[in-house]
Amino acid sequence: MPNPATASALLRPLLGRRLLAVTEARYWLDGRPVAGTDGLLHFWLHFEGMPAVMAHGCGDLLKFTEEEPYTSYDMQEAGRTVVGPAQPVDLLGEVIGQHLVDVGLIRGYSTIPAVGGTLLRFEQTELLVATLADEWICQPGPVPDRLRQYLSFIGWLNTTAPTAEGQ
């Protein structure tokens, strides 16, 4: 279960480290990648000096584990899952090379105290990464008003970093 304490323990050592690469598992159909979050299955963050961290969404819960990327695989007539580098034009690709300044934990739409998302605050960019009803949300942060009934901010991991009012 992706509880806040488990997520904090895994993500806190990443603070201050530079993101070297992002690997994504993406659904391909008819020889082409499915664009945007519709085609995103999993992703891995590769920080300097740390093992790869895999993000896996399940329903309204977001789970992070130290795990290397798996290999691409064929699903025959249902398409293909291709694992490779995130494209620089993708939001996840835009933060490569930046240091992670802080991580904000977000509670998902659940009756249990679990992590449903994160705000990844990099030097120049803040990304909201969450999962809601088995759908990825990956957009510039913070949590937009239209999603606040489903995603509620828990708090920042780095209590010494400057934070925005209310988040």
- Supply the pLDDT for residue 97: 96
Q: Rounded distance, CA 82 to CA 115, Å?
A: 27
Q: What pTM was estimated for this model as a whole?
A: 0.90
- Return the percent helix, strand and coil in the chain, to nearest 5: 15, 45, 40
CA distance 37 to 12: 26
Residue with tokens 């009934």: 149
Closest CA relative to residue 148, chosen from 108, 96, 91, 99: 108
Angstrom distance (rounded) from CA 164 to CA 159: 12
Q: Which of 83, 88, 90, 58 is nearest to 68 (CA)?
A: 83
| pLDDT for the residue 2 | 62
How many Cα atoms occupy the beta-carbon half-sphere of 125 within 13 Å? 17
Tens digit of pLDDT at every position of the chain (167 positions): 467 888 899 999 999 999 999 999 999 999 899 988 899 999 999 999 999 999 999 888 899 999 999 999 999 888 999 999 997 778 888 999 999 999 999 998 876 667 889 999 999 999 999 998 889 999 998 999 999 999 989 999 986 644 444 45
